Chain A
Amino acid sequence: MRKMLVVAVREYQAAVRTKAFIVSLVAMPILMGGGIIAQVLLKDKVDLTDRKIAVVDHTGVLYDAVAAAAKKRDAERIFEATASGEKKQVQPRFVVEEVDTAGRNEDQLGFDLSEQVRKGGLFAFAIIPVNALEPPNKETEPSGAVKTVIDYHTNTPTYFDLPRWLDSVVNGEVRRVRLEKAGVNPQVVATASTPVPLETWGLVKKDASGKITKAQETNRAASFVAPAGLMMLMLMVVMVGASPLVQIVLEEKMQRIAEVLLGSIPPFQLMMGKLLGTVGVSLTISTVYLVGGFAAVSYAGFAPYFPTHLLWWFMVYQALAVLMYGSVFISVGAAVSDLKESQSLLTPVMVLIMAPVFVWGNVMQAPTATFAVVCSLFPPATPMLMLLRQAIPPGVPAWQPALGIVLVLLTTTLFVFAAGRVFRVGILMQGKGAKFGEMLRWAIRG
């Protein structure tokens, strides 16, 4: 036990006292939140060049509405007030112009306008068909026949704001004209269409005195973010904390440190020392992130939504996950002779670790369904999926996490035991690395 702890302390110090550890601790959330930060920072970096669009209006009545809408947009929606009270343009102008067909046929017209787009004179052009105002008639437009559509042509199909705006403006006007033709007041339709909002609440409870308390409103973001966040944090910590074991063990093997160590400590204790050190490293990482996460959530005023009641579970699950996966990583490191060889052995392990991510959507949708219960009791997935289910209100029956922990403990013991055998044989082997079958044989025969 003493020797195991000596090894664990060394492993822990070797991992935590490096600059790389501090850097990765800081870099990981930056990488994960990088998208959001970049978006915030780059919000102002919008191309404000006017988007000029030519409109061919075969109905002869819709263009005016489009031109009016563009004018209104330019006046109201493309500016934002800055802190100093000035108006600042944040979106490009949409400049519309009507096209005179001048007796050209459709093909010639399309080609001429396309040429203008190619030369940069126009950003896009749109053709509104002549029957745009007529309601669709299934008899005159059987399936397979040409549908009534607005053709939008551009050389920049990845810019969505302009077609989206045009779609909404033209269709708004089409709807208005059609309603008027049918003798219905569009204002009445708009009022009648106002939706009634739906709010999600928890269940009504009785307090200690028997008084019925009002149900709490469920914060949809919080009830989604807390479970998903905990699961992702665990996945990340297992990856960052445990997967370096492959390289650590491989280096000790190749640099012949292993035999020196084996002169002082039995192989099983050496491996357990490494695993315990790694558990320490992973708990350090998660503690840093959980404390940081709590501080950030409290600052934003969401402290009540922070899953404080699950933190002990998180730590226990995480320690077991690191032991379980760490023992596999150690066996791989001991069995191979270079990093390249380890890749093929690691692929199935990675799939196993990532498995909860593949099913977590289904589990969140129906956390009490048999599928979710079975998945969360599959030991390699238990730490992440059971925690996920526990974090979704109202949680799970107590027997499920208890059974989950027992199964994970049994699996971890089995993995560690097998890894101990593979480690003992593999660590002193030089030359060609072992295949999966060989590792299995070492694990079974000892």
Chain B
Amino acid sequence: MNVIELHNITKTFGKHVAVDDLSLAVPRGSIYGFIGPNGSGKTTTLRMIMRIYFPDRGAIRVLGEESHGAAHDRIGYLPEERGLYKKMKVREILRFYAELKGRRDFYQAADAWLERLSLTEWANKKVETLSKGMAQKVQFISAVIADPELVILDEPFSGLDPVNMEVLRECVLDLRKKGSTVIFSTHDMAVAERMCDFIFMIYQGRKVLDGTLDSIQNQYGQDTIRVRLAERDGDLTVLPGVEKITDFGTLQELRITPETDTQDVLESLMRLGRVTHFELARPSLQDIFIRIAGPEAEKAAALSRKLEAAHA
């Protein structure tokens, strides 16, 4: 059963189309990753799911309801723009959010969460005394304190140090284990690859990717070679059938055309230096993201727009 169903939704702000004819289904119990460049429509989509914004066209069903209330007690929401009442104490804030969601017996849950996120001794301190990372953890707890069936997290890991990021990552995985469905948006492709059952990418308001990591990578095939060369003598651009080279310093990623024989590439590489690593791979999510939304794609899109205009 799907927890969220978006049917052809469109949202415009003035002349700007923020979300364009978008459809999406999020199955219960999954972790769904939303990716896309800044300003592509992620936050607008999440706000429409939360019914903070209403779509101009299309229908939204959340937890089986086409409810018109702007919020839902069974949904936990951590927005991208975060803020807490500075003068309130941590426990008071958690009580406030629990009560807003209709939870009266919040104490046990609050204590458990505070302990898990190492905030117990801050429970009775005012928010203004917390560090940024701590405040972010408090904000996370306030989103999940009422045991929501659906958790929507907009950039939950941004600004966290690696230790806290790891703690929060485990918390998110645990939420799924307990039966919650989790949607989160992120700019960290490695996190999305590791954590998400499904990945959805939106670009310029339109859906450009939607599926499991496997299915997305399969669309692109094994067109990537990762190589390490010792004592390199010469330029990799001379290699046959190579479309694009991404240099990571000690490691290079080559994108090859479909008709290229990888053996020919290996042979050419051996002439250039001592090959210490040669791996046939599917493109990473990062690579796919850049192929869709990077400068190359921008240029291609601009060119096609120009051609269309010329033909018209």
- List A250-275 residues whose CB lies under 8 Å from chain B: 252, 255-267
B52 in complex: contacting residue of A6, A10, A428, CB < 8 Å: A428
CB-CB under 8 A from A255, the residues of chain B are: 83, 86
Assess whether A104 is interfacial by the CB under 8 Å rule: no
- Residue on A nearest B96 in the bound complex, by CB: A10
Asked if B81 contacts A262 (CB within 8 A), the reply is no
CB-CB under 8 A from B273, the residues of chain A are: none
- List B197-234 residues whose CB lies under 8 Å from chain A: none
CB-CB under 8 A from B107, the residues of chain A are: none
Q: What CA separation (Å) do A252 and B86 show in the bound complex?
A: 10
Assess whether B99 is interfacial by the CB under 8 Å rule: yes
Q: What CA separation (Å) do A3 and B71 show in the bound complex?
A: 11
CB-CB under 8 A from B278, the residues of chain A are: none
Main secondary structure of the interface of B (DSSP, over half): loop
Q: What CA separation (Å) do A264 and B70 show in the bound complex?
A: 8
Min distance, Cβ A441 to any Cβ of chain B, angstroms: 12
CB-CB under 8 A from A18, the residues of chain B are: 87
CB-CB under 8 A from A428, the residues of chain B are: 47, 52
Residue-wise interface mask of A (12-42) relative to B, using a CB-CB cutoff of 8 A (1 in contact, 0 not): 0010001000000000000000000000000
Assess whether B100 is interfacial by the CB under 8 Å rule: yes
Assess whether A2 is interfacial by the CB under 8 Å rule: yes
Q: What CA separation (Å) do A173 and B143 show in the bound complex?
A: 89
CB-CB under 8 A from A266, the residues of chain B are: 51, 69-71
Q: What CA separation (Å) do A261 and B142 show in the bound complex?
A: 11
Give the size category of B's interface with A. 20 to 34
Residue-wise interface mask of B (63-89) relative to A, using a CB-CB cutoff of 8 A (1 in contact, 0 not): 000000111010111110111111110
Asked if A263 contacts B77 (CB within 8 A), the reply is yes
CB-CB under 8 A from B157, the residues of chain A are: none
Asked if B79 contacts A256 (CB within 8 A), the reply is yes
Asked if A263 contacts B50 (CB within 8 A), the reply is yes
- Residue on A nearest B76 in the bound complex, by CB: A263
Q: What CA separation (Å) do A258 and B152 show in the bound complex?
A: 16
Min distance, Cβ A268 to any Cβ of chain B, angstroms: 8
Given contacts A2-B102, A3-B100, A6-B96, contact A264 B83 (CB under 8 A): no
CB-CB under 8 A from B70, the residues of chain A are: 262, 265-267
Q: What CA separation (Å) do A260 and B152 show in the bound complex?
A: 12
B85 in complex: contacting residue of A3, A14, A262, A267, CB < 8 Å: A14
Asked if A259 contacts B71 (CB within 8 A), the reply is no
Assess whether B282 is interfacial by the CB under 8 Å rule: no
Min distance, Cβ A249 to any Cβ of chain B, angstroms: 13
CB-CB under 8 A from A264, the residues of chain B are: 71, 73, 77, 97, 100-101
Asked if B71 contacts A262 (CB within 8 A), the reply is yes
- Residue on B nearest A18 in the bound complex, by CB: B87
Min distance, Cβ B294 to any Cβ of chain A, angstroms: 27
B83 in complex: contacting residue of A2, A10, A252, A267, CB < 8 Å: A252
Asked if A6 contacts B99 (CB within 8 A), the reply is yes
Q: What CA separation (Å) do A326 and B142 show in the bound complex?
A: 29
- Residue on A nearest B70 in the bound complex, by CB: A266
Q: What CA separation (Å) do A256 and B43 show in the bound complex?
A: 14
Asked if B71 contacts A256 (CB within 8 A), the reply is no
Assess whether B30 is interfacial by the CB under 8 Å rule: no
Assess whether B40 is interfacial by the CB under 8 Å rule: no
CB-CB under 8 A from B83, the residues of chain A are: 252, 255-260
Min distance, Cβ B153 to any Cβ of chain A, angstroms: 11
Q: What CA separation (Å) do A260 and B141 show in the bound complex?
A: 12
Assess whether B139 is interfacial by the CB under 8 Å rule: yes
Asked if B100 contacts A259 (CB within 8 A), the reply is no
Q: What CA separation (Å) do A3 and B103 show in the bound complex?
A: 11
Min distance, Cβ A437 to any Cβ of chain B, angstroms: 15
Residue-wise interface mask of B (124-144) relative to A, using a CB-CB cutoff of 8 A (1 in contact, 0 not): 000000000000000100110
Q: What CA separation (Å) do A43 and B51 show in the bound complex?
A: 66
B71 in complex: contacting residue of A2, A252, A263, CB < 8 Å: A263
B100 in complex: contacting residue of A6, A258, A267, CB < 8 Å: A6
CB-CB under 8 A from A263, the residues of chain B are: 50, 52, 71, 75-79, 143, 152
Asked if A265 contacts B86 (CB within 8 A), the reply is no
Min distance, Cβ B104 to any Cβ of chain A, angstroms: 10
CB-CB under 8 A from B99, the residues of chain A are: 6
Asked if A260 contacts B69 (CB within 8 A), the reply is no
CB-CB under 8 A from A259, the residues of chain B are: 52, 79, 81, 83
Residue-wise interface mask of A (89-117) relative to B, using a CB-CB cutoff of 8 A (1 in contact, 0 not): 00000000000000000000000000000
CB-CB under 8 A from B76, the residues of chain A are: 263
- Residue on B nearest A254 in the bound complex, by CB: B83
Q: What CA separation (Å) do A425 and B297 show in the bound complex?
A: 34
Asked if B85 contacts A257 (CB within 8 A), the reply is yes
CB-CB under 8 A from B69, the residues of chain A are: 266
Q: Name the residue in A258, A259, A267 with the highest tally of chain B Cβ atoms < 10 Å from its Cβ.
A: A259
- Residue on B nearest A264 in the bound complex, by CB: B100
Q: What CA separation (Å) do A414 and B184 show in the bound complex?
A: 39
B84 in complex: contacting residue of A7, A260, A262, A265, CB < 8 Å: A260
Residue-wise interface mask of A (233-263) relative to B, using a CB-CB cutoff of 8 A (1 in contact, 0 not): 0000000000000000000100111111111
Asked if A260 contacts B88 (CB within 8 A), the reply is no
Q: What CA separation (Å) do A6 and B76 show in the bound complex?
A: 17
CB-CB under 8 A from B142, the residues of chain A are: 260
CB-CB under 8 A from B86, the residues of chain A are: 255
Q: What CA separation (Å) do A264 and B75 show in the bound complex?
A: 8
Min distance, Cβ A342 to any Cβ of chain B, angstroms: 19
- List B80-122 residues whose CB lies under 8 Å from chain A: 81-88, 96-97, 99-102
Asked if A256 contacts B82 (CB within 8 A), the reply is yes
Q: Name the residue in A10, A262, A264 with the highest tally of chain B Cβ atoms < 10 Å from its Cβ.
A: A264
Asked if A262 contacts B50 (CB within 8 A), the reply is yes
Q: What CA separation (Å) do A10 and B52 show in the bound complex?
A: 22
Q: Across the A-B interface, give the 9 residue pairs with the lowest CB-CB distance, nearest first.
A: A263-B77, A266-B70, A256-B83, A256-B81, A257-B83, A255-B83, A264-B100, A259-B79, A6-B99
Query: Could you list 28 A-B pairs, sorted by A, with CB under 8 Å?
Result: A2-B102, A7-B100, A10-B96, A14-B85, A14-B87, A252-B83, A256-B83, A257-B85, A260-B83, A260-B84, A260-B142, A262-B50, A262-B71, A263-B50, A263-B52, A263-B71, A263-B75, A263-B77, A263-B152, A264-B71, A264-B73, A264-B100, A264-B101, A266-B70, A266-B71, A267-B70, A428-B47, A428-B52
A residues contacting B by CB (< 8 A) are: 2-3, 6-7, 10, 14, 18, 252, 255-267, 428
B residues contacting A by CB (< 8 A) are: 47, 50-52, 69-71, 73, 75-79, 81-88, 96-97, 99-102, 139, 142-143, 152
Not counting A260-B78, A267-B70, a sample of 12 additional A-B residue pairs whose C-beta atoms are within 8 angstroms of each other reads A14-B85, A14-B87, A256-B81, A257-B85, A259-B81, A263-B71, A263-B75, A263-B76, A263-B78, A263-B152, A264-B73, A266-B51
